[in-house]
Amino acid sequence: MEKEILAVPQSAVAQALAADYFCIYYVNVQDDTFIEYFASEEYRSFGLPKTGDDFIAFSRNNFEKLIYAEDRERFLDRFTRDNVLGSLDRGKPFTMTFRMMFHDEPTYVHLKVTRMIEEEVRHAVIGISSVDEQMKAREAFERAHSASMTYSRIARSLAKDYFSIYIVDTDTDNFTEYSSAEGYEELGVQKEGGDFFNVSRKNMERLMHPDDLGRFLRVFTKENVLAIVRRDGHFTTKYRLMLGGEPVYVSMKATLLEEGGTSQLIIGTNNIDAQMKRETEYQQLMADAKTSARNDFLANMSHDIRTPMNAIVGYTNIANANYDKPEIVKDSLAKIGSSSHFLLSLINDILDISKIESGKMQLNCGRCDLNDIFRRIEDITLLQARDKSLHITYDHSNVQHYIVNADELRIEQILINIVSNAIKYTPAGKRVDLKAEEEPGTNGRSLYRFIIADTGIGISEEYLPHLFESFTREEKTTVNAVQGTGLGLAITAKVVELMGGEIRVKSEAGKGSVFTVELELEELTEEAAETVAEEECISLEGRKILLVEDNVINAEIASLILTQHGIDTEIAGNGLEGVEMIRREPVYDAVLMDIQMPVMNGYEATREIRNSEGEYFRKVPVIAMSANAYAEDVQQCLEAGMNDHIAKPFNPDDLIKLLHKYICG
């Protein structure tokens, strides 16, 4: 029986095939007229005409707006009449892929132009179909392949820097060597197998430097490595392997790779011997430099401390031997006082640099009279300059506003440090000049410039970068006979920085130096600057003070000073004794409290006084008189209930002013 052939209309076949296309056009290639044969709803939403006279122009004009921006230029370059007909004349369809914008999203489409089979060979069919899924899948594959190739190249490149790399399955402990250097091959370590951690530990017992083995065996266990990797993201350790009988530093790093349900440790060992040797050499150089700087500092300090101490001891002996000769005693006491002040300045420098470098120095800003600062600087440095036969000048005629909001003590410290330093290093017959200038600023602030110039020995070009470093001098005390800690300029620079200012220096060896300090300071208005006349001082004579001090000499000195002002003083040898005395006789006008004492310290004693019953114990002034002089020490005193703090050694006038403030004020 003959098979029955199913007859299907050609139009039905065409319609079925058209369903895979966004649109199909029927084009007369001779006169360029066209008609739309089929279009999807998405395509028709563009609102394009269904017929026309010039399909190429129609496509270029309309598709330019619909094509994804990155593909427009390529589309316009290729989709020309010459290119389309040229391809068809060669018996090949014209095709190209690009992206069109559907619903504001770029979608890959494929355009195909095919000549129809007919005698006249006048017509062509143009169809545009979606190939978005295929193209995006292809792109994803290419990206993954590219990434895989890149990672592979990176891994191979990095592997060259490692002595060895192992991949270890965390479930089975099976391992495989990924790569190894030639030197590692000579160690005779197996490349694959099981029980990685036990195998490695046995190998290390044979290969590791004995001094590192115990530590390595303690840390290199599976449980410990995995715990650290999961906590920190990696495990690292350094040790020495014995290669050719010589210890070589290596670094082991382990990371965890978890993929597709598997967990693997990637363990790489890197040769860091050259790096460790450079680091050791650097550390040794730094240690030698610190030792040298420390030795120089101690040598300078030893010389500088012994010099005033020698004067103090010597002139004390002279005064004792000549107590019946007032002029010799007076001269000796003056020189003892001068040497004592110099010794105190050395100690203060060390305390200041310690506070600065620990970040504990604080500014104490308030009403500041620059005129007073200039006057004190002149009083102090003029005598120094005259003693060295130097010519010194002071000029602040270009300053208009003298009353500012600033830390008066620190400004004075900055200028005295620089001027005194200039005097130290300027030979007799030369000169030192201090000049102050003011430039107007904004928001009630002015720029104050202080210039200290000298014609002294200058600073060498090599030493200039180290000028503001702590504990440094261009020459040693024992060589150039200039005394000091070598901290003055370091403190100055750090204080200037703390105040938000700038310090600069120009110098030439043999010709002198010029230091410039710039500070931006707030001017105080006339109303704020107006000084209040001091009230008539009420005498402290007959007042009663409790001095709590365990050091007999310190207690005697303070007692004598107070007695000179008519103050009745009683002494307690420790905090507990002081508390008992004031509770027994609550008649004291103030308490001077040392801090470091046996039995009960000053903080504890003050709290006991404040916690005693009665208003007197809450209000009686308690003033710390202590060698504990840091800002945190002062704060601890206030927190313990004290009213104020004065540091030892103290200026007698400062102590009397403080007592007057709390007793009479």
Per-residue confidence (pLDDT) for residue 544, from 0 to 100:
95
pLDDT surpasses 60 at 477: no
Instruction: Please report, to the nearest 10 degrees, the dihedral formed by the alpha carbons of residues 113, 118, 122, 125 taken in order.
Output: -20
Top pLDDT among 411 and 3 is at: 411
> Any residues with CB less than 8 A from the CB of 635 and at least 6 apart, and which?
none
β-bridge mates for residue 25, sequence order: 36, 126
> Any residues with CB less than 8 A from the CB of 235 and at least 6 apart, and which?
225, 228, 229, 252, 253, 254, 255
Top pLDDT among 45 and 360 is at: 45
Region label for 43, one of left (φ > 0), alpha (ψ between -120 and 50) or beta (otherwise): alpha
pLDDT surpasses 80 at 43: yes
* Tokens encoding 596: 């470091």
Top pLDDT among 383 and 479 is at: 383
Q: Please, which pLDDT band fits residue 123 given cuts at 50, 70 and 90?
A: confident
Chain centroid offset of residue 294 CA: 26
Q: Please, which pLDDT band fits residue 399 given cuts at 50, 70 and 90?
A: very high
The string of pLDDT tens digits covering residues 191-200 is 788 888 988 8
Q: Please, which pLDDT band fits residue 454 given cuts at 50, 70 and 90?
A: very high
Residue type, 578: G
Return phi, psi of residue 535, to 5°.
Answer: -70, 150
Average pLDDT over residues 150-173: 68
Sheet strands side by side (includes 94-102):
51-52, 34-39, 21-28, 123-130, 105-115, 94-102
538 neighbors 465 (Cβ within 8 angstroms): no
Per-residue confidence (pLDDT) for residue 133, from 0 to 100:
83
Fold of 160-271: Beta-Lactamase (3.30.450)
The string of pLDDT tens digits covering residues 18-33 is 667 888 888 888 888 8
pTM: 0.43
pLDDT surpasses 60 at 7: no
- Output the DSSP codes for 569-618: EEEESSHHHHHHHHHH----SEEEE-SS-SSS-HHHHHHHHHTSSSHHHH
Q: How many other CB atoms are there within 10 angstroms of residue 275's CB atom? A: 12
Average pLDDT over residues 474-496: 60
pLDDT surpasses 60 at 305: yes
CA pair distance 80, 235, nearest whole angstrom: 63
Per-residue confidence (pLDDT) for residue 377, from 0 to 100:
83
pLDDT surpasses 50 at 2: no
Fold of 12-136: Beta-Lactamase (3.30.450)
In the block, tokens 């105040």 appear at 499
Per-residue confidence (pLDDT) for residue 538, from 0 to 100:
64
Per-residue confidence (pLDDT) for residue 586, from 0 to 100:
93
Q: What 3-state DSSP class applies to 307?
A: helix
Distances (CA, A) of 469 to 109, 489, 500: 72, 8, 19
Average pLDDT over residues 366-373: 88
Top pLDDT among 259 and 605 is at: 605
570 neighbors 581 (Cβ within 8 angstroms): yes
> Any residues with CB less than 8 A from the CB of 608 and at least 6 apart, and which?
575, 579, 600
pLDDT surpasses 80 at 9: no
CA pair distance 85, 32, nearest whole angstrom: 11
Quote the percentage of the chain above a pLDDT of 90. 24
Q: Which of the residue ranges 84-88, 376-380, 581-585 has the most confident prediction, judged by mean pLDDT?
A: 581-585
CA pair distance 143, 486, nearest whole angstrom: 65
pLDDT surpasses 70 at 393: yes
Least confident span in 228-232, 284-288, 611-615: 284-288
Q: Please, which pLDDT band fits residue 562 given cuts at 50, 70 and 90?
A: very high
Residue type, 342: F
* Tokens encoding 219: 């840390």
- The CATH architecture one would assign to domain 544-663 is 3-Layer(aba) Sandwich (3.40)
605 neighbors 593 (Cβ within 8 angstroms): yes
Least confident span in 170-184, 197-211, 267-281, 389-403: 170-184
Per-residue confidence (pLDDT) for residue 480, from 0 to 100:
44
Per-residue confidence (pLDDT) for residue 417, from 0 to 100:
82
CA pair distance 130, 42, nearest whole angstrom: 12
CATH superfamily of domain region 362-529: Histidine kinase-like ATPase, C-terminal domain (3.30.565.10)
β-bridge mates for residue 39, sequence order: 23
β-bridge mates for residue 261, sequence order: none
Average pLDDT over residues 643-655: 86
Average pLDDT over residues 44-49: 85
Top pLDDT among 275 and 602 is at: 602
In the block, tokens 């420790």 appear at 574
The string of pLDDT tens digits covering residues 126-156 is 888 888 888 887 777 767 666 555 555 555 5
418 neighbors 515 (Cβ within 8 angstroms): yes
CA pair distance 606, 600, nearest whole angstrom: 10
Least confident span in 20-24, 254-258, 523-527: 523-527
pLDDT surpasses 70 at 474: no
Quote the percentage of the chain above a pLDDT of 70. 81
Per-residue confidence (pLDDT) for residue 120, from 0 to 100:
66
CA pair distance 395, 376, nearest whole angstrom: 14
Closest by Cα among 115, 100, 29 to 68: 100
* Tokens encoding 651: 């200026």
The string of pLDDT tens digits covering residues 622-636 is 999 987 766 678 888
Q: Please, which pLDDT band fits residue 485 given cuts at 50, 70 and 90?
A: very low
pLDDT surpasses 70 at 105: yes
Burial of 124 (0-12, 13-18, 19+ CB in 10 A): buried
pLDDT surpasses 50 at 409: yes
Average pLDDT over residues 574-600: 94
Helix axes 69-78, 55-66, angle to 10 degrees: 160
Least confident span in 159-168, 231-240, 643-652: 159-168
624 neighbors 637 (Cβ within 8 angstroms): yes
Q: Please, which pLDDT band fits residue 274 given cuts at 50, 70 and 90?
A: confident
Average pLDDT over residues 652-657: 87
Average pLDDT over all residues of the chain: 82
Return phi, psi of residue 333, to 5°.
Answer: -65, -40
Per-residue confidence (pLDDT) for residue 5, from 0 to 100:
39
Per-residue confidence (pLDDT) for residue 307, from 0 to 100:
61
Burial of 347 (0-12, 13-18, 19+ CB in 10 A): middle
